[in-house]
Structure 1
Amino acid sequence: MGRRSAVAACLVFSGLSALVYQIIWVRLLGFTFGTTTEAVSTVLAVFFGGLALGNLWAAARLSRVQRPLRVYALLELGIGLYALASLPLLQGLASVDVLIGAGQGPWTRTGIRLLGSALLLLPPTIAMGATLPVVARGLVTEDASVGRWSALLYASNTLGAVLGAYLCGFWLIPTLGLTRTVVAAGVVNLGVAAAVLALAGGLRAAAMPTPVAATVPAEGGTRGRAVFLFFFGVSGFVAIGYEIIWSKVFGIVMEGTLYGFAAVLSAFLLGIALGSFLIAPRVDRIRDLPRAFGWLHAAIAVAVAVGIRAVPDLPYWMQRLSGLEGIDPLHRLYLLVVPIVLVPTALFGAAFPVLVRIIARQAAAAGRGIGVATAVNTTGSILASLVVGFLWIPAFGMDRSLEILLLLDGGVALLALASFDGVQVDRAVAGQLLRAPQLADYRAQLERELASQRYRREGRSAVVTVYELPTHRMLRTNGLREAAYALIPPYYTTESMLLGVLPYLLAQGEARRGLVVGLGGGNTLDALLHTRLERIDLVELERAVIDALDVFAAGRENPLHDPRVEVIVNDGRNELLLAAHDGRLAYDVIASQPSHPRRIGAASLFTEEYFALARSLLSPGGRFALWVSGFRVDSESLLAIVTSFERIFPGSLFFDGSYGRARTDFLLIGGREPGVIDPVLMAQRMREPRLAALLGRFGFEAVEDVLAGFEGPGADFARISPEARNTDDLPFVETRVPRDMRTNYLDFGVIESQVDASAPALPPLSGPVDVARIA
């Protein structure tokens, strides 16, 4: 391998580490900022904004750089050292955000996060953005190979990003955890710096031309270059718009897991890298570059429109693929994603070197051309992440948003074809391009029960639907069932009722203030409203879930209309952080009902750090209740949650939420101190008129009926797997459960058989109960 090829190979590792940082830093900041669309989009906008600034900085200064490869080595050295120092900086930013943001409105908090993220992320991302143009300045030495080398360098860098997305999601986070993954990526940057310094000695950059204006293509001059840069900005907007919609669609089918996210992102980047590699040997021989650019975008629009035809059948193919032998269950996801995204993304990848060739014909200007092109393209990407995710999808839905993107893509194709080479676009061809959305029936609903659908809203973080079936209503987010409400008594499930009522019954002293994390179908909130709590704060991430309750709760009183309820639209964990720092009164009852622990976002509400945060908000004698679904959860994952819970809540109590019927829904109860249950106080609360009526519908008439669901102290279950932990840094459950959800089966009897036979059959009590009735 020659020196030039070796330096180009270093770009693979630069791209790998950059993508790792993007995933990990966004994830780490999400623990503090929350996982709302606004919070995540803010961090991503800053990250990509830094890349664009780095592109522009390099493009502006490359004319004065005599040893570009040494500059590249210094950039990699700076990125690596900054990455190694980033973890304490991130923790400091988290403290500042909570300290300043507490008590502020959502727009003020977004501004604070934007400023804090910019201060923290701009230095390394500017350096990352500068690397590709700088390397191009050092390696592209012949005018006749500007396009080929631009394509190869861009493809190499993107291939590294593919590896970063794949390794980060499928191996690094599950194996090393977040902290050690960042350290490993930092070491990679330092290794690249050392390798480039060793290789740089024998390479010389091409001399800069004079005047610089000579690099502008003859056809169209400066105006032509500016117009095609604008087209490339729109191209970046459209590409990220497609990615956002594809991510949401595949997220529904793949149930929002880390592996699904990694599969979509890496497949998207793989197509871009592949397209650049394939066009590299040909791009310098293309005579009519504007026309080639136009036809590539015409092909993109057609490929997306055709590929989207498969969307309605994705759940079917997902089920079929689950039975495929010889392929790891996680990698079967690629069989679902690649056929839809590979062709259009490869065409996007091929368009990049064509654009660079349009705006830079001389070798010495290749670095500047790449810098300007990537900056404009990245700017379009930033706008798309804000406009498509923030505005279009909530306002128009994914279908209409996709139609707008396809029209933009077709418009770019038409304008590029007609602009500078005198080509007269056939009227029939133009009509087909502008009608590209109609080439595919992409409006097919992902849900099959259209006839029973009573509500559908595409919110910022989820697609929320409500169905009316013969015996019950069902609420789903992104296709996954979250709540059910029967049309006959007792109306909702035992576990959803007890999630709210049980911590109230077990709380010591007066119980006045409650908190519910996650609305679901409102059943737990409704149950708590049957108690004598004076105020209940309800924290829900998705506004569309709140609006859905008018339909889901039809025929009964909507619990959100109760004057005791304060609705807070925010990420649950972020809201608890703010509550812990703004001097709010402690809670006597906290009921936490996040979605399933395998889903991105919800997974962070099953970790030790979240449990510690909830514990800090409890009053003396207060109780925290956590719902854990056993659906597609294996024994090791359940025990990891219980063990982590017991670490934070010593003396915790483990209840079977279904009370022996299915044994797949469990409730963990903890307090600031190991609690002793007062059966007299429990009985007194159970006699409260409204609560007694509610409990009676479920057959709970005495204290013993409630205690019958007690499975044992949390400590006894924690002893089965004492080393098991589920933490922010090493999310064991989030990375383990999705590995083969179709075969995961929880046999609670096996877990129960491992509990010490001498374990107490009753929780600690301060008074007598009728043991015979419990048995």
Structure 2
Amino acid sequence: MIYLLIFLSGLSSLIYEIAWIRQASFVFGSSALAMSTVLAVFFLGLGAGSWLFGRIGSITPKPLLWCAGIELLLALNGLSTQALFDWTDSLYGEFYRHFDTHSTALLLMRAGLVCLLLIPPTLLMGGTLPLFCRQLIRDPAAISAKLSIVYGVNTLGAAMGCAATGFIFLPTLGLAMSLQVAAGLNLLVGLGFWLLNRRLPPCPTEEELATETSVTANTKQVPFLLAGSLFFMIGAAALANELIWARFLTNFIRNSVYTYTLTLVVVLIGTALGSLSINNWLSTTRKPQQLLITFSGLQALSATLILLLTHLPASAWQALEPWGMLPFILLMTPSALIAGASFPLVNQLVSHSSQQAAKQVGRMTSINILGCIVGSLLTGYVLLPQFGLEASIFITTAWTIIAAWIGILAINESKLSAWAGVCSAVAVWLLMLTFSPVRIPHDYMKPEDKLLSFAEGYNSNLAVVLRDNIKTLLIDRLWQGVEVSNYQVMVAHIPMIHNPDAKKVLVIGLGAGNTASRFLRYDIDHLHIVDIEPRLFEFTRQHFPSKWMDDPRVNLIAEDGRNYVKNTDQHYDFISVEIGQLDRPGVSVFYTREFYQQAHSKLNDNGMICQFVPLSFLRPAEFASVLKTFLSTFPNAQLWYNTDELLLIGFKGDIRQLSPEGFSKVTENPAIGADFDINYWGGSLYNLSSFPVFMGSFLASGAELGTLSGIAPASLYTDDKLQLSYSVSDFKKTDRRASDLVPQLQQHLSPIAAAVIPGSTADRALQTATNVRNFNIADITASDVLWTYAAKDDNAERRAQRASEALKINPRNIDAQNLLQRALVELEPRPQE
């Protein structure tokens, strides 16, 4: 029964960790700095708890009673977590409004509040393992054998808790209920420990163990400093490698809401299995120090294996993309297994007696966790952003090899095979450094893309490629913008045509700057641009048109956009939300009721907000839910066409209607009018500079928009569940989601007249706009046919078929006409010579 309780204790701890990380992102933001602070404090609490309760465990005769008390206190903390985070959120917001977003004072305040929230419960969590050891370890010669079971079972519970929370609890129960589940488990486990404490006799005291043999003759003691250094380095390497591998996998695996959970689950399962699997060996061997030497050699070899795996041909890793967890398992399991096995071994070598096992385990665990903190911070803030991914892989591999060398050095009995392993690792490391067969990330780019520049950001990878002879910005391999004017500029112009007198504008998401720069063509006083990636501003300045960034009206803010909107004391006439692909982690928080309420509170009277609605990611239920959630805060709203990336425009006051005169007054400004000399699909005849053509982008408002929000069972998206992030995580480029929504759009269109001032527009112009709108909507399907379903082995015949099918849907599509013409030329029989 006690091992079941140990398992459940680990399970509840990881429910808390995953839930706290999610909850902390709403309070402090999800930037790398904020999340690193949260994780560092989490580990700091665990380490301090291990050290403190290791000392308590060495003297208490009733460790299970302490465990029961810890679980009860954790349950109380879990039930009060929401109130504690709400209080912290309010306090942090007050400080946020009085300091610069990157001031030292605000950083210290954030760290202090995180400590206030997380140190008490994590201190308690860190104390459980030493107390378990005090209860279960009685034979000084079997410390590592018993510890391998305790640590393995507890870590396996943690892995199951991580998986259950990330894959089941958060998506289905939500954040609040997940915390209640964890609190319920704490109460159950606490009751179990209390009952066991009543049944079991007290642990032997120091006097009762006075005759105990310190350690067996075959188990040599090693200097604590040497063993501690080894444990510190193993912890640092483990966390550093987690971050590096996660970043490496983004080269060929699309990052999603599940990525962090997958990474942590694989590492925890590997660690647990490593600890459990060594138990049989420890039970039979007379020289566990020889096993440590062997494992140190294997640690060096596993590091070398990782180095070789990360430098396999890019095609090998790209071929594994459809295999789900397999890439994670290949990269992370070997070193996790060895790290898990090393934990009980090292503790055996520094422990003097069974009574002191709790104290030694607490000390060694705290040292290991300190290494985790240092490794994660150094990797996140120094290695990856300053040296890049490839250099970071070599540095952490070298670090791991050094740790293996220390492990062998810790035992004076040399073992030739272990030294051979380390020497082989060094040789391979030097060889790969000199003759690396793969360039990271260059060789992971699409063959048709020419890499022009690359930078490791704090939150993401930034790249500029030449695609179809156009300079293109990629963030984590995903398209974010181009150097030339395209439909993205209309994300600024469509709302500003409604409110050309806006003076203060907020843009969330910089991209290549195509949209943000267009606001400066209007008579605004302030343009604030917020982006979570600090390096993107300079990267964009270097590679894309950027003179506009020097405009004194521009303020570039490196911050989590959601956190900024919630806490800033600034108010705006217009907020533009441009955060890219919906399946990216952290994007769905901009589609919840809470975000819209926060944005509404930061709009001036008669202010406006504009939100992307990318149809290619959305099924009918998700599309309806996006509309329903938006309308719950902005009932006065319009839906506009802008390719398949529709625009939702919300008005804090009444909807602003348009007129030909007002349109002409704005577009007669040459800088603005030039941007309207573009078209979506039909050539210059359908340029947006024509008012009827422009109005053909209006889709719905009022009752029709409300009806669209009910085309399928719709949810109200909230911070508690973040439903959208989970439902779109299975997105594939070949999905027909945009096309599937076209019939629903066609059935629920508002009259064009609903968007214009009554009497301002001739009936003929309204009819022209209606005809253009029909083509616009049809072209969503035509574009899907034309580009989405292009096969890798595309040929002239297939291109001709796709173009012909697209032209049946939208006969005016210029791209389809050109593609068909080129394909037919290729298919023409060539005259024989």
TM-score, normalised with respect to structure 2: 0.84
**RMSD, aligned CA:** 2.6
Does residue 1:349 correspond to 2:364, yes or no?
Answer: no
Deviation at 1:17, TM superposition (A): 1.3
**Residue identity matched to 2:453:** Y
* Counterpart selection for 2:508 from 517, 521, 527: 517
1:522–1:559 CA contact under 8 A, matched in 2: no
2:246 matched residue in structure 1? 247
Q: 1:687 to 1:100 in 2, by over 3 A?
A: same
1:156 matched residue in structure 2? 153
Write the mapping of 1:92-241 to structure 2, written as runs, cut at 5 A. Answer: 92-105=87-100, 106=102, 107-209=104-206, 224-241=223-240
Q: 1:41 to 1:166 in 2, by over 3 A?
A: same
2:277 matched residue in structure 1? 278
2:14 matched residue in structure 1? 19
2:715 matched residue in structure 1? 724
**Residue identity matched to 1:117:** V
Query: The residue matched to 2:535 in structure 1 has which SS?
Result: helix
Query: The residue matched to 1:719 in structure 2 has which SS?
Result: coil
Identity %: 23
1:537 matched residue in structure 2? 528
1:665 matched residue in structure 2? 645
CA distance in 1, matches of 2:515, 2:311: 33
State the Cα deviation string for residues 302-357 of structure 1 (Å, max 9, x = none): 2233234444669756765676xxxxxxxx42222112211211011000010111
1:264 matched residue in structure 2? 263
Query: The residue matched to 1:543 in structure 2 has which SS?
Result: coil
* Structure 2 portions without partners, runs of 5+: 680-686, 771-833
2:813 matched residue in structure 1? none
* Counterpart selection for 1:482 from 475, 480, 483: 480
2:801 matched residue in structure 1? none
2:831 matched residue in structure 1? none
Does residue 1:677 correspond to 2:654, yes or no?
Answer: no
1:70 matched residue in structure 2? 65
2:572–2:603 CA contact under 8 A, matched in 1: yes
**Residue identity matched to 1:641:** V
Q: Which has the higher contact order (CA 8 A, sep 6+)?
A: 1
Query: The residue matched to 1:623 in structure 2 has which SS?
Result: strand
Q: Comparing 116-125 with 368-377, which one deviates more in the overlay?
A: 368-377
Query: The residue matched to 1:729 in structure 2 has which SS?
Result: coil
| Greater Cα radius of gyration, structure 1 or 2 | 2
1:492 matched residue in structure 2? 485
CA distance in 2, matches of 1:280, 1:380: 25
Deviation at 1:764, TM superposition (A): 4.0
1:655–1:712 CA contact under 8 A, matched in 2: yes
2:461 matched residue in structure 1? 463
CA distance in 2, matches of 1:315, 1:77: 51
2:688 matched residue in structure 1? 700
1:302–1:436 CA contact under 8 A, matched in 2: no
2:307–2:393 CA contact under 8 A, matched in 1: no
Does residue 1:597 correspond to 2:605, yes or no?
Answer: no
Does residue 1:652 correspond to 2:652, yes or no?
Answer: no
Write the mapping of 1:383-532 to structure 2, written as runs, cut at 5 A. Answer: 383-423=374-414, 430-438=422-430, 441=436, 444-446=439-441, 447-449=444-446, 452-485=450-483, 491-494=484-487, 496-507=488-499, 510-532=501-523
Deviation at 1:603, TM superposition (A): 2.2
Query: The residue matched to 2:455 in structure 1 has which SS?
Result: strand
Deviation at 1:576, TM superposition (A): 1.3
Deviation at 1:455, TM superposition (A): 1.1
Deviation at 1:648, TM superposition (A): 1.4
Q: 1:188 to 1:696 in 2, by over 3 A?
A: same
State the Cα deviation string for residues 238-268 of structure 1 (Å, max 9, x = none): 1111111112222443322122221111011
CA distance in 2, matches of 1:88, 1:197: 28
Deviation at 1:720, TM superposition (A): 1.9
Write the mapping of 1:246-395 to structure 2, written as runs, cut at 5 A. Answer: 246-311=245-310, 316=315, 320=319, 332-395=323-386
Deviation at 1:546, TM superposition (A): 1.5
Q: 1:747 to 1:232 in 2, by over 3 A?
A: same
Q: 1:86 to 1:238 in 2, by over 3 A?
A: same
* Structure 1 portions without partners, runs of 5+: 1-5, 324-331, 486-490, 659-663
1:54–1:128 CA contact under 8 A, matched in 2: yes
State the Cα deviation string for residues 110-140 of structure 1 (Å, max 9, x = none): 2111100111111111111001111111122
2:803 matched residue in structure 1? none
2:28 matched residue in structure 1? 33
2:786 matched residue in structure 1? none
1:622–1:672 CA contact under 8 A, matched in 2: yes
**Residue identity matched to 1:626:** Q
**Residue identity matched to 1:564:** R
1:563 matched residue in structure 2? 552
CA distance in 2, matches of 1:313, 1:12: 38
Deviation at 1:696, TM superposition (A): 2.4
Deviation at 1:144, TM superposition (A): 3.6
Q: 1:577 to 1:642 in 2, by over 3 A?
A: same
CA distance in 1, matches of 2:19, 2:250: 19
Deviation at 1:674, TM superposition (A): 3.9
1:700–1:706 CA contact under 8 A, matched in 2: yes
CA distance in 1, matches of 2:515, 2:291: 59
Q: 1:205 to 1:743 in 2, by over 3 A?
A: farther
* Counterpart selection for 2:615 from 626, 630, 635: 630
Alignment length (residue pairs): 744
Q: 1:758 to 1:111 in 2, by over 3 A?
A: closer
CA distance in 2, matches of 1:223, 1:311: 35
Q: Comparing 257-266 with 244-253, which one deviates more in the overlay?
A: 244-253
Does residue 1:711 correspond to 2:699, yes or no?
Answer: yes
CA distance in 2, matches of 1:59, 1:563: 58
* Counterpart selection for 2:598 from 605, 608, 613: 613
1:327 matched residue in structure 2? none
**Residue identity matched to 1:595:** G
Deviation at 1:50, TM superposition (A): 0.7
Query: The residue matched to 1:364 in structure 2 has which SS?
Result: coil
1:138–1:204 CA contact under 8 A, matched in 2: no
Query: The residue matched to 1:598 in structure 2 has which SS?
Result: coil
State the Cα deviation string for residues 13-60 of structure 1 (Å, max 9, x = none): 111111111111111111121111110011111111111111011112
1:162–1:269 CA contact under 8 A, matched in 2: yes
State the Cα deviation string for residues 579-635 of structure 1 (Å, max 9, x = none): 2xx3x2x21122111132222122212222112222222122221111232344433
**Residue identity matched to 1:707:** M
Q: 1:17 to 1:436 in 2, by over 3 A?
A: farther
CA distance in 2, matches of 1:270, 1:314: 28
CA distance in 2, matches of 1:215, 1:394: 48
CA distance in 2, matches of 1:424, 1:297: 11
2:625 matched residue in structure 1? 640
1:215–1:365 CA contact under 8 A, matched in 2: no
CA distance in 1, matches of 2:338, 2:753: 65
Query: The residue matched to 1:303 in structure 2 has which SS?
Result: helix
Deviation at 1:424, TM superposition (A): 7.6
Q: 1:419 to 1:68 in 2, by over 3 A?
A: closer
**Residue identity matched to 2:689:** E
Q: Comparing 706-715 with 453-462, which one deviates more in the overlay?
A: 706-715
Deviation at 1:704, TM superposition (A): 2.8
